Structure formats: C-alpha cells, structure tokens
A and B are shown apart, each in its own frame.
Chain A
Amino acid sequence: SYVLTQPPSVSVAPGQTARITCGGNNIGSKSVHWYQQKPGQAPVLVVYDDSDRPSGIPERFSGSNSGNTATLTISRVEAGDEADYYCQVWDSSSDHRVVFGGGTKLTVL
C-alpha cells in the first residue's frame, strides 16, 4: 500500500516561513491535499490539488509537489497557525483509495 511520510514536528518563529514535507513514492504524479487540524476540531482543507487554496484560506498557505516530495509552505507564520497538518492523496493503484500522512505538529515558538 502507498505510504506518506511526514516529519512529526516542525517549529518556527512568528513571521518566519514554515515548510512541512510529505514524502511518497513518485508523489509528484499524484494530487496532494493538505489539512489543518486544531485541538478538538475537525480538519480543515487548506490546500488541494497540490497548490490550490479553497475560498477563505489565506494566501500565506501554498503548496508544491514534485518527484518524491510534496511541501506545504506557510509564510509569515502566526500564532494561530499552530496546529497539526496532514497530507493526503487518492491512490488509484491500490484498494487503499485514500491515504493520509501521519501528521506534523507545527509549533509556533
């Protein structure tokens, strides 16, 4: 089955740029979606199809995907961005149609 690998944690100071990676075999050939989850809340889609933003998501959130790594970039990080972030793909090559990464805890110092 397809596996997505994320770092368990990323730390960044306010105003700096956070980059959260999501590794997978030839992930660049798939569409990657990113979710933000704050404690006690349901996940929120922040980036879809590698780099598109849903309505209402700040432009500070962006995504890229190439080769074996997809990246969620959060510019000018704010305290309110502290959350868990999950990447996700739809894997048509197996029965495990939807795959989530293990999640990354973003800490704003």
Chain B
Amino acid sequence: QVQLQESGPGLVKPSQTLSLTCTVSGGSISSGDYYWSWIRQPPGKGLEWIGYIYYSGSTYYNPSLKSRVTISVDTSKNQFSLKLSSVTAADTAVYYCAREPFDIWGQGTMVTVSS
C-alpha cells in the first residue's frame, strides 16, 4: 500500500529556509487521483495545513504562510517537497506530509528552529 516518508534537516537556523522532502512509495504521485499536502503541528498544539500540490504542479497554500511557502513536485522521483523561508522559532513543529483526503500520512519529522 501507499506509504509516505518525510526527510530533511531536524535543525534550521532562524532566518534560513526549511527544506523537507516527502517520498511516496507503493503508488504513483502522477496517478492524478490525489493532492499531496504538507501539514505541521507545533509542540502541544493543533494541526495546521500548509498547502498542497497536484502532480501537474498546481498548488494551493495557507494564506497565512503563502508568502514564505513553496511546494514542488518531482514525478520522476515520486517525491514532493516543501520550502519555508525566513523561519523563526514559531515554525518549530512536527511536519507531516499526507495524501489528501488525508487518509495516508507520513510519520512526521520534527524541525526545530534555533541558532
């Protein structure tokens, strides 16, 4: 069955860019049946949708993060990626990738923003 796995640095310095990749296995990101999302959860807090991408490259972002977020897709590698620029401590969170309608999630990866 389809599985998702996040990867990327666990520590990012303030003002730098957070970069994460989600690798999809057991299915093709190009199937066209789903949107592929990034969602985050600050420690002890709720879920926050960041944005999603379709295999064609169409994207939708949370307006509160839109100016700092870029989500891209690499169909040849069956991966999609997140870039979040100008990070601050408020961006410290567990970052999940998920297949929309969110029936499949990655295990999540903790990213800490600290100098």
Q: Tell me whether B100 is interfacial, beta carbon within 8 Å.
A: yes
- Selecting from A16-24, A41-49, A65-73, the interface stretch reads A41-49
**Total A-B contacts with CB atoms under 8 angstroms apart:** 51
Q: How far, in angstroms, from A33 to B49 measured CA to CA in the complex? A: 14
Q: Is the CB of B60 within 8 A of A103?
A: no
Partner of A95, one of B63, B103, B108: B63
The chain A residue with its CB closest to the CB of B103 is: A45
CB pair A86–B49 under 8 Å, yes or no, is no
Knowing A1-B63, A42-B107, A95-B63 touch, does A100 contact B101 (C-beta < 8 A)? no
Q: Does B52 contact A (CB under 8 A)?
A: yes
Q: Which residues of B7-44 have CB atoms within 8 Å of chain A's CB atoms? A: 37
B13 to chain A, nearest CB (A): 26
Answer yes or no: A88 CB below 8 A from chain B CBs: yes
Contacts A35-B102, A48-B103, A88-B102 given; does A42 touch B108 at CB 8 Å:
yes
User: Which chain B residues (60-87) contact chain A, with CB distance < 8 Å?
Assistant: 60-64, 66
A79 close to B (CB within 8 Å): no
Interface size class of A (residues with CB under 8 A): 20 to 34
- Partner of A33 from the list B37, B61, B64, B101 (CB cut-off 8 Å) is B101
A88 to B37, CA, bound (A): 14
What is the CB-to-nearest-CB distance from A60 to chain B, in angstroms, rounded to a whole number? 19
A43 → chain B closest CB, angstroms: 6
Contact B47 A42, beta carbon cutoff 8 Å: no
Among residues of B, the one whose C-beta sits closest to the C-beta of A97 is B60
- Can you list 30 A-B pairs with a CB-CB distance of less than 8 A? A33-B101, A35-B47, A42-B105, A42-B107, A42-B108, A43-B47, A43-B96, A43-B102, A43-B105, A54-B103, A86-B47, A88-B47, A88-B102, A94-B63, A95-B61, A96-B49, A96-B62, A96-B64, A97-B49, A97-B60, A98-B49, A98-B52, A98-B62, A98-B100, A100-B47, A100-B48, A100-B49, A102-B46, A103-B46, A103-B47
